[in-house]
Structures are given as C-alpha cells and as structure tokens.
Amino acid sequence: MRETHTSTLFFVGDRVYKLKKPVDLKFLDYTTVEARRTACEREVALNRRFAPDVYLGAGEIRVPHATPEPLVVMRRMPAERRLSQLVREGAAVDDAVRDVARLLATCHADAPRSQDVDAQGTRDALSARWEASFAQVRALTDKGPVPEGVEEIEWLVRRYLAGREQLFALRIDQGRIVDGHGDLLADDIFCLDDGPRVLDCLEFDDHLRYVDGLDDVAFLAMDLEQLDATETAAFFLARYSEYSGDSAPPSLRHHYVAYRAFVRAKVSLIQAHQGAPGADVAARQLITTTLRHLRTAAVGLTLVGGLPGSGKSTLSGALADRLGVTLLSSDRLRKELAGIPVDQPAAAPYGEGLYTAEWTAKTYSTLLERACALLSRGESVVLDATWSHEEQREAARRTAERTSADLVALHCQVPGAVSASRLATRGRGASDAGLDVATAMAQDEPPWTGAITVDSSGPLEASVAQALGAVHRSASGRAPVFRRPYMEPD
C-alpha cells in the first residue's frame, strides 16, 4: 500500500487499485462518493490517451451494508523500469527518451483544441500564473525577505513577457496550445520493451492541463535536470521539437523550463514552511535552476559594428553561431533590396550607387524592422553593419527598448595596416567597400559612446571570447543553449 495526499494505492499481483481519499484540499473536493466516482472515471479517460493498456477501467469495492467505493483499476508497471530509476542508475536512456518524445508529440497532435484551451496559452494567461506563484512565495515570507534570487526571477519574467505578446499569439495561431498531460514526472514514466507508458496526468483541473505543448514537455525536462541529467533533458526537448515539427525559439523552451522549476520551488517552499526535512535545500536548488534558464532565455539584440576590414562580419557570424541566434547582415540585405545576387559586385565611390544616404537609410530601416519582428517572437539577433552614424545607433536602441531586449553594442577595431591588408586580399562577397571607402568612412565616424571595443586584429577565437564576455557579462549561472534540431525542408 502507498499513499499520496489525494489517493491510496493497493498493489496486488499484477494490478493496482487506486482509491480517492475523501478530502477537501480547496483545489479539489473528494468528500462525496459521487465526486470520487467522477474523479476515477475522469482519471481513466484522460490517462488512456497516454497509456491505454494500463488504465483498465473504473471499478468499485463493495462491502455489505455500505455504499460501494469507486476506484481506478490499473495494470501494474515494473518499478525497475521507471525512467527516474534508470536515470539514477546511470543506464543508457536516449532510446527510451526518444520514444517518450515521440509519444508525447503524437498525443499532442491528437489532443483536443478549442477557444477555452487557447485562452490558457496567451501571454497574459502565463503572466497571471507566474504572478500567482510570486504572490504565494511572498506570502510565505511573513513580511521578511524573499528567498535569494526571487526578485531577479520576477524581473526577468516580466521583462521577457513584456516584449513577447506576438510570440504567444503566434503559438496559438499555430495550434500549439493543447489539452496535455500537465504533470510529466520521470517517476510516472515506465520504459518498457514495447514502448513507454506515461501515467498520472493531471485530472482535477482542466485548465491546468491546457498548456502549450512545449510547456507540457518542459515539465519533464526540468525533472530530468533535477536528476542531474541535463544533457538528457536537452536531448529530450530536441527530439520533441523534431517529432512535433515545432521550431519554437530556444528562449521559449528555456522560459517554460524555468516556469516549471519555479512552480516546484514554490511547492518546496510551502513544504519547508511546514517543517518538511530537506525542502528548503530543494527549494534553493530549484530557484537556481529557474534563474539559469531565465538568464539564458533573455532576448538580446547585439550590434557588431566597425569599418570595412575590421573583421566585424567574420566576428558576427562566429558569435551568432556560438550563441545559437539569428544573424542579419546589412551588406546582404542591401543587395537583396536592390534585387541583385549577394556576391555580385556593386562597388561605387563613397556615398554613391547603392551606398547613397537614401539607400543606406532604407537598408538600416529594413534591418531593424526584421530584427524587431524576430525579437518580438523570442529570437535573439546579431546585426552585422558598420553602425557608423549616431541616428542608426539610436534607432537600434529604440528597437531594443520596444521589444524589451538586452542591447549590447560591439565596436570592432584594428590597426590601419591590418584593415588595409584584409581589404586588399578579400575575395568576392557581400561587401563592396575598398580601402578608399574605408578611409572616407573613418573620417566621418563619430565616437561610439556605450559600445564595447573589441580588438579583432588577432585570432578569431580571441575576438569571439571577448564578444561573448560582453554579451554574457555574468558567465556563471546560465543554462546550455537549447539548439533547434536540424529538420529537412518539406
């Protein structure tokens, strides 16, 4: 026999019989037989979506001269095949985790959708859930200081959500909000030879199951991290994205993992407040996990500027690759707007041809429009351009402010001889600037107040390390980047 706060389970041979306790916990009320019967029937119906051969049906215990007591009848799962147990033992679980990801993607694809479901996927609905958790945590402190890290969590959450309304609207338009599982724990997943069985979905409140599919699976990713299986968690999310065809920005994946970690941290804080041993340690660990993912989820706009020959384009590409973010180049965009191939020469004297003030203004305006659209959808961006005029820099600052993005400006600088040598030996590409153009631009370029100077005259890795240090001013306390899996085009 085992007990939870809502149920009593009896393990008899190859069966499990689960009775609901006659309790009123405010968020659920099982004090009547009919309420317990409804809960049992709902549990069977909802869980059969994930494990149809485990949930055998709703039954009842009959005792003479007493009202029959409803229960759930289940097929007993082998405890040694729990995913949590396999992870703790250090077993190879990639194949099993891949199968779980495929099962969940399939269940989400078939899950019911409706306006009521979609309503729980809005930015404001998620914000309300976060704020409710913040209020509950603050109420536990009895007017004392909140646990270390909570104030930063509140700030990071509000900043991320403030600029991302378009992202959440897009998720709804894409049909990503589903009637999911709601409580994915490694303890409730059994990895059998013929595939995984996922048990014990959340049945007492439908609205808590109405979530973004990515939010649903982030629960398990967070749980795997708490089992010190961080790489397995990232692998699981990548496989889910692959099987579901979900190209969500990495920032959203980190945000949802952080959300799930903080909900569990809140529960641990409540348990610590009640005197549960070890709960305070668990809460601190979960708050740390929340912070790691929120810091990594922060949306950033990074400007990489400098004169022709400074190495800004090379650094921009390497930096975007290391960060796993989108790269936009003014040189490539300028030619796109002109309708010519990116490697077709279009050289002209300084300020003429495709490089007049009008063409340049159009290029920078379009560059920032595209950056704004990406930032609003949770995509961090590196912008490769010279940024040689103050009005261009100011426009970038306004774009970052409008999208609640972290702005970092990097100014590549090299000795004149290095720049001249690079320009003299550069092959065909997006940029047409030669030494004469670079010299003219240098005479007009004003000081770049607020930019971080990057010495890009040496090895590329040295410049990248300096740039990364500027973008991530605190190298510690960040989660590994969740990279999108490679997907073949349709």
Q: In angstroms, rounded to a whole number, what is the distance separating the alpha carbons of residues 176 and 174? A: 6
pLDDT beyond 80 at 420: no
Reported confidence tier of residue 282, pLDDT bands at 50, 70, 90: very high
Reported confidence tier of residue 344, pLDDT bands at 50, 70, 90: confident
Q: Average of pLDDT values for 206-213?
A: 94
Q: Does residue 147 contact residue 137 with C-beta atoms inside 8 Å? A: yes
Collapse the DSSP code of 409 into the 3-class scheme (helix H, G, I; strand E, B; otherwise coil) and give the result: strand
Which ranges of 19-78 would DSSP assign to H, the alpha helix? 33-47
Q: In angstroms, rounded to a whole number, what is the distance separating the alpha carbons of residues 93 and 99? A: 10
Within the chain, which residue ranges are assigned CATH 3.40.50.300? 300-471
What CATH class has 79-297?
alpha beta
Q: What are phi and psi of 378, to 5 degrees?
A: 85, 10
- CATH code, 300-471: 3.40.50.300
Q: Does residue 351 contact residue 334 with C-beta atoms inside 8 Å? A: no
Paired tokens of 54: 């485990």
pLDDT beyond 50 at 475: no
Quick one: 349 exposed, middle or buried, by C-beta within 10 A (0-12, 13-18, 19+)? Answer: exposed
- The pLDDT assigned to 490 comes to 46
Q: Does residue 260 contact residue 126 with C-beta atoms inside 8 Å? A: no
Q: Average of pLDDT values for 232-250?
A: 95
- The pLDDT assigned to 418 comes to 82
Among 256-260, 322-326, 380-384, the range scoring the smallest mean pLDDT is 322-326
Q: Average of pLDDT values for 62-81?
A: 94
Query: How many angstroms separate the first and last alpha carbons of the chain?
Result: 51
What are the residues facing 452 on neighbouring strands?
410
Within the chain, which residue ranges are assigned CATH 3.90.1200.10? 79-297
What does pTM read for this prediction? 0.90
What are the residues facing 82 on neighbouring strands?
190
List Cβ neighbours of 413 (8 Å cut-off, separation of 6 or more). 306, 310, 453, 454, 455, 456
